[in-house]
Structure 1
Amino acid sequence: MGTPKPLAGFRLAVTSDRRSAELIEAFERRGAEVTHTPLLQLAPLDDEQQLIAQTRKLIELRPQAVVITTAYGLRRWVETSEAAGVGDELLAVLGQAQLYVRGAKAHGAVKALGLEPAAVAADGRSASMLQLLEGKIDGATVALQLHADSDHGLPQSLRELGARRVLAVEPYRWQDTSSDSGISALVEGLCTARFDAVTFTSAPSVHALFAAAKARNRLPALLRSLADRVVAATVGPVTAAPLIDAGISPLVPERYRMGAMIGQLVEHLDSLGTLQVQTIHGQVQLRGRTLTVQDEDCELTPGQAELVRALIEAGGSVLSREELGAALPEASSKHALDMTLSRLRKALPQPEIIATVIKRGYRLNV
């Protein structure tokens, strides 16, 4: 058997809507099994008249400062304005205003339009952007490009900083999918560690997952699983913030880009997610839920994988029934443990790898 792909045997959950195809292809190319469940989807702008009306008001009032929060929002705003015949007027107003920009990608979109920002919150956080605005907008008219549904507290924050008038511009909105059946499967899969990792590319998607879990009375189980058993990978610190606030330690790349997130997750799972031990029947290796015994693969259920993981980590020491039962994805009965062990042994190429120690428990036959 050749060298396995770095994510062979691992199950990943992708929660993003935009650019999800790129993300899924990158993981599948490295051998992962990917489930795609968008937590939020962009709502179609069937009626763009509201955005055009907001833009015309901005052109009329010519704000002294404009806050740009996202690259996608700015591009969609400009494209919609151009289609309505007011693109040049919008760019003229933006060119005369002081532009305050949140994040590197938004900065790039501003530069691509030939505009120069007055200041950039490089870390992409709203709090940092508001700090840049302190003492700069007292008595001013300020336009705010909203980041979907997640920035509706910003207009009040701008008023508290002294803005005389705040014009909110909403180029796009998120469509809540938390009631979808696919979301239920995602929540349950994360709670029971059917996935080895889950990826997030926006903070609103994290909030949407928490809300969906809470609505299903599964939030405590979800938080425990993300804290202890399922790796949460994020695209940057803004996305990671709600996870950290919930007591979870997600992966956060040094460069806040999707490619960096992919690389970090691949490295993490490839180096830390593989367990192996030498037994009397040869080398046993567990990668995600794929167990390899002497170059022969078998696919395990989440419960079976957790039992094998516990036995490998014990290094040949005996684990009691209570200790093995605690390793199952969910608290279960003695009967459930017996059934899982029985089916696990039937799934193994060599059932004798797991030895029963009378009145004590079980161990790997090393």
Structure 2
Amino acid sequence: MSENLPLSGVTVGLTAERKADEFAALLTRRGAHVVLGPSMHTVPLPEDGELAAATTDVLSGPVDVVVAVTGVGFRGWVEAADHNGVGDRLRESLGSATLLARGAKARGAVRGVGLADPWTAPTEESSEILEYLLAGGVSGKRVVVQVHGDPMTEFRERLTQAGAEVVAVPVYRWTDPVDLAPLDALIDAVIAGEVDALPFTSAPAAANLFGRADRTERGAALRQAMRERVLVASVGPVTAKPLEAEGVPYSMSERARTASLVTLLETRLPSPG
């Protein structure tokens, strides 16, 4: 039986909010025991608040370049514009620009709202989009960036320094989870040596895990456990940045996909028996 359950006897902690159930299902089908402790909560911005104001800003002038960072964020932006009666104007404005997507999901969202197929970063990293834009020159261009909770400050500053006018479109932001009890329980389990692996799928989830531990005076113990006793894994280099900042060793999946993270755990964790 264990041959078909490569993660039998393994406990995996998940800090993800979005698609946590899907991730957990992949793990449990392989025999893992999953401890859910979402470390963040995604809050869509009100349609009549920041997002609407940003859309008005975008429509106030011609757009030269559009950067779609996340599929759910870009799609949500256009849907909110439709709700507010400016969806057609927004599509027309964005459709006349050079379209760039961070990855396959963002590309699918761009195409899904009726826009042309965008150039997509092969590594699905924002840094590659930045390099692409800077190599082509952005001086005098108006660049719209759909941000995803993380304000992408450095990304935007680099474009501004290169002479671009940058318009940020914040579609949602991140806060602490509504219910902190599961997160606190996960932190305690990691410190107690009851968790074998912590795979991360977003940088905010990793950062908020450390933040909550620090606010509850468990930060040092959590970091020690993650450095010494836990297989820490990241879905990509952006997600890994908070881990690097905390000096926590980590492994990285070959592809920026949840299934690839699961494969990594199967490879790196001890076989059952």
Shorter-chain TM range is: 0.7 to 0.9
Contact 1:124–1:238, Cα closer than 8 Å, also in 2: no
Distance in 2 separating the partners of 1:57 and 1:264:
43
What do residues 291-336 of structure 1 show as CA deviations (whole Å, max 9, x unaligned)?
xxxxxxxxxxxxxxxxxxxxxxxxxxxxxxxxxxxxxxxxxxxxxx
Instruction: Please state if 1:155 is matched with 2:160.
Output: no
Q: Partner letter of residue 240 of structure 1?
A: A
Distance in 2 separating the partners of 1:38 and 1:230:
18
Distance in 1 separating the partners of 2:203 and 2:178:
15
Contact 1:69–1:102, Cα closer than 8 Å, also in 2: yes
Assess, with a 3 A threshold, how the Cα gap between structure 1 residues 48 and 33 changes in structure 2: closer, same or farther.
Answer: farther
Question: 1:196 corresponds to which residue?
Answer: 196
Question: 2:110 corresponds to which residue?
Answer: 110
Greater shift, 82-91 or 97-106, is seen at 97-106
Post-superposition offset of 1:146 = 1.0
Question: 2:122 corresponds to which residue?
Answer: 122
| RMSD over aligned Cα atoms | 2.5
Distance in 2 separating the partners of 1:2 and 1:101:
41
SS of 2:251 mapped into structure 1: coil
Q: Partner letter of residue 149 of structure 1?
A: D
Question: 1:217 corresponds to which residue?
Answer: 217
Instruction: Please state if 1:141 is matched with 2:145.
Output: no
Assess, with a 3 A threshold, how the Cα gap between structure 1 residues 263 and 128 changes in structure 2: closer, same or farther.
Answer: same
Question: 2:181 corresponds to which residue?
Answer: 181
Greater shift, 224-233 or 193-202, is seen at 224-233
Question: 2:252 corresponds to which residue?
Answer: 252
Distance in 1 separating the partners of 2:4 and 2:250:
26
Distance in 2 separating the partners of 1:234 and 1:185:
21
TM-score (norm 1): 0.67
For 1:228-243, list aligned pairs within 5 A: 228-243=228-243
Post-superposition offset of 1:47 = 4.7
For 1:207-356, list aligned pairs within 5 A: 207-269=207-269, 272-274=270-272, 285=273
Distance in 2 separating the partners of 1:218 and 1:150:
28
Greater shift, 138-147 or 2-11, is seen at 2-11
Greater shift, 167-176 or 242-251, is seen at 242-251
Post-superposition offset of 1:76 = 0.8
Assess, with a 3 A threshold, how the Cα gap between structure 1 residues 141 and 30 changes in structure 2: closer, same or farther.
Answer: same
Post-superposition offset of 1:37 = 1.1
Distance in 2 separating the partners of 1:143 and 1:202:
23
Q: Partner letter of residue 255 of structure 1?
A: R
Q: Which runs of 5+ in 2 are unaligned?
A: none
What do residues 65-102 of structure 1 show as CA deviations (whole Å, max 9, x unaligned)?
22222111111111111222222221111111122332
TM-score (norm 2): 0.88
Distance in 2 separating the partners of 1:36 and 1:131:
37
Assess, with a 3 A threshold, how the Cα gap between structure 1 residues 194 and 51 changes in structure 2: closer, same or farther.
Answer: same
Distance in 2 separating the partners of 1:225 and 1:23:
23
What do residues 200-242 of structure 1 show as CA deviations (whole Å, max 9, x unaligned)?
1111111111222222333333222222211112222321233
Contact 2:36–2:183, Cα closer than 8 Å, also in 1: no
Distance in 1 separating the partners of 2:172 and 2:44:
8
Q: Tell me how many residue pairs correspond in the alignment.
A: 271
Assess, with a 3 A threshold, how the Cα gap between structure 1 residues 251 and 48 changes in structure 2: closer, same or farther.
Answer: farther
Question: 2:72 corresponds to which residue?
Answer: 72
Distance in 2 separating the partners of 1:44 and 1:2:
42
Distance in 2 separating the partners of 1:3 and 1:148:
41
Question: 2:56 corresponds to which residue?
Answer: 56
Post-superposition offset of 1:26 = 1.6
Post-superposition offset of 1:245 = 4.2
